[in-house]
Amino acid sequence: MIEDDLEVDNADDRGARRAGAAMAVIQEVARARGAARERRKGDGKAAALFLAPWFVGLILITAFPLVASLYLSLTDYSLLQAPAWIGVENYTRMFDDPRFFQALRVTFAYVLVSVPLQLAAALGLALVLDKGLRGLAFYRSVYYLPSLLGGSVAIAILWRRVFGADGLVNQLLGYVGIEGYGWVSHPDYALGTLMILNVWTFGAPMIIFLAGLRQIPAMYYEAASIDGAGRLRRFLSITLPLLTPIVFFNLVLQLIGAFQSFTQAYIVSGGTGGPVDSTLFYTLYLYQKGFTSYEMGYASAMAWFLLLVVAGMTAVNFLASKFWVFYDD
């Protein structure tokens, strides 16, 4: 009996020790979780502190002006008097404004012609540079410069001089006996000079194309060469399909940028959109309404309409991309 009692006591002691050890482990885990929660709270506070300037900028510089613009688009506001609520009158007024439709025609012609040509020039030059030229970094920098300078006032002024009646283009044509025009002052050619300027700013998409070309595995080209495929066939069957995500990315970016073009038309036309409204970009007409005619309510409505147009074009591109953009998966 005494031995049985001793065995029971030992069993109770072992159970108590195990329970105590388990409780200690549970307490340690609880303390560790509590410490982890405190660290996460501290990390969250630090992250919120570092993100605070960005959130302040988002609210004050982006969100608030966006909401204010939407409100002003529903008012009659001249910058000099308090806005007066008129509902959707500014939006309905657009459809009775012939210059509004002219601005749309000019802008769509500019976008639909210059952007494909710009991307074609960028891709062609990227293919040349991808061949491993000596001094590639230098050429990459030189060809990227137009993208940095193309939207500047200085380049727009230079462009106006180059295509002027006594400009460099007419001087070169004169050497071969061709009499040129005042290209920027002729309604049939003025918009074309701005398209050429946009095509000339191919540097940014070229760099992106070049990076995409460097990611295509060489084994595909080696296999195609063994099968007897020529350069054109390799380009159409390997390079272009594998590069379609990059083409799509550049297309969306350049379309959005082209719709927002302003400086070139403003400088070349002297802020009028002439001759005969042939360079009346949508953004230029918006500027005229807002800051020349002081019709800020109407200009705000035009800005929101442009936002819808750009969003619609972007949505169409995304919907159509599933038919021609090929991904690895």
Q: What CATH number did the domain enclosing 264 receive?
A: 1.10.3720.10
Residues 181 and 65 in one domain: no
Residues 173 and 299 in one domain: yes
Higher pLDDT, 259 or 148: 259
Indicate the residue among 15, 39, 72 that finishes a domain: 72
Indicate the residue among 12, 45, 72 that finishes a domain: 72
Domain range for 267 is: 89-324
Cα–Cα distance measured from residue 167 to residue 214, given in angstroms and rounded to the nearest whole number: 40
User: 10 lies in a domain?
Assistant: yes
Of the listed ranges 28-37, 81-90, 261-270, 313-322, the least confidently predicted one is 28-37
Peptide bond between residue 275 and the one before it cis (omega within 30 degrees of 0): yes
Residues 117 and 154 in one domain: yes
Residues 227 and 287 in one domain: yes
Specify the pTM.
Answer: 0.82
Residues 117 and 264 in one domain: yes
User: 68 lies in a domain?
Assistant: yes
Q: Please, which residues bridge with residue 84 across strands? A: 76
Residues 152 and 43 in one domain: no
Number of domains in the chain: 2
> Phi and psi dihedrals of 325, rounded to 5?
-100, 130
* CA 169 to chain CA centroid, nearest Å: 32
Contact in structure between 110 and 288 (CB atoms under 8 Å): no
**Residues 163-171: what's their mean pLDDT?**
86
pLDDT of residue 176: 85
What 3-state DSSP class applies to 229?
A: coil
pLDDT category at 153 given cuts 50, 70, 90 is: confident
Residues 141 and 179 in one domain: yes
pLDDT of residue 137: 74
User: 51 lies in a domain?
Assistant: yes
Residues 31 and 99 in one domain: no
pLDDT of residue 10: 52
Residues 180 and 208 in one domain: yes
User: 9 lies in a domain?
Assistant: yes
What are the structure tokens assigned to 147, written together? 């993208």
Residues 198 and 229 in one domain: yes
Cα–Cα distance measured from residue 12 to residue 14, given in angstroms and rounded to the nearest whole number: 5
User: 79 lies in a domain?
Assistant: no
Residues 214 and 320 in one domain: yes
82 conformational bin, left if phi > 0, alpha if psi -120 to 50, beta if neither: beta
User: 329 lies in a domain?
Assistant: no
What are the structure tokens assigned to 83, written together? 């806005």
Question: Highest-confidence range of 23-32, 144-153, 280-289, by mean pLDDT?
Answer: 280-289
User: 80 lies in a domain?
Assistant: no
Contacts of 174 (CB under 8 A, 6+ apart): 180
Residues 97 and 51 in one domain: no
Indicate the residue among 25, 43, 72 that finishes a domain: 72
pLDDT category at 58 given cuts 50, 70, 90 is: confident
pLDDT of residue 102: 96
User: 161 lies in a domain?
Assistant: yes
